[in-house]
Amino acid sequence: MTDGLIILDSAYKKAKYWRKIVTLEKLHPEDLRESSMAKLGNLFTSGAICVIYVMKDEVIGECTAIPLQKVEREVLDNIVGLEKYLKVKTLYLHSIGVRPEAYSKEKISAHKGISIAMQMNSLVGKIAKDQNYNFIIGHAREGMSLNVAVKLGAKIIKEYSNWFGVGTSYYQVEADLKKA
């Protein structure tokens, strides 16, 4: 198997990797983690775009975007300008993560981890643009996730200082694919 980005563009590929993708859920704050079944449901959501980064047969990164109309109500309630996004083709960046232990285990630098996140995000953006999406929106955690989004041209819409009570700031971000 080659190392690098893999687009999960078939049910076969999703079925092949889903167990490894579910293990990445531990990267998220405990209060925001999805169950294995919820993660599997999002992965197989019609219209979902999922990209993984594989290194030595291990999934060390994952990025999944799903059509906005399929996002959970509690998340939709925390989107500023929701009506604007529902009027056009919009994806919600549901999750992105790179295993921190891969940095030391595989002897990659934190810079490489950011690079992997940027590669995954960029590829999701390219696929979305090719599929005529207008926006990709999401809620990025303060730190690497937010930095990657902004470096790739997303603008910050709003800060949530205690997102769902986890004690960490998240930011609503928007990438306008028609301007990109």
Q: What is the pTM of this model?
A: 0.86
Per-residue pLDDT of 74-120, as tens digits, reads: 889 889 999 999 999 999 998 888 877 665 555 555 556 668 888 99
Domain hosting 13: range is 4-176
Give the Cα separation of 151 and 153 in Å (integer): 5
Give me the mean pLDDT over the 1-28 stretch: 84
Q: Which has more confidence, 173 or 3?
A: 173
Residue 72 token pair: 């959970």
State how many domains the chain has. 1
Per-residue pLDDT of 34-48, as tens digits, reads: 777 777 888 888 999
Phi, psi at residue 144, to the nearest 5°?
A: -55, -45
Residue 110: give its domain's CATH number. Answer: 3.40.630.30
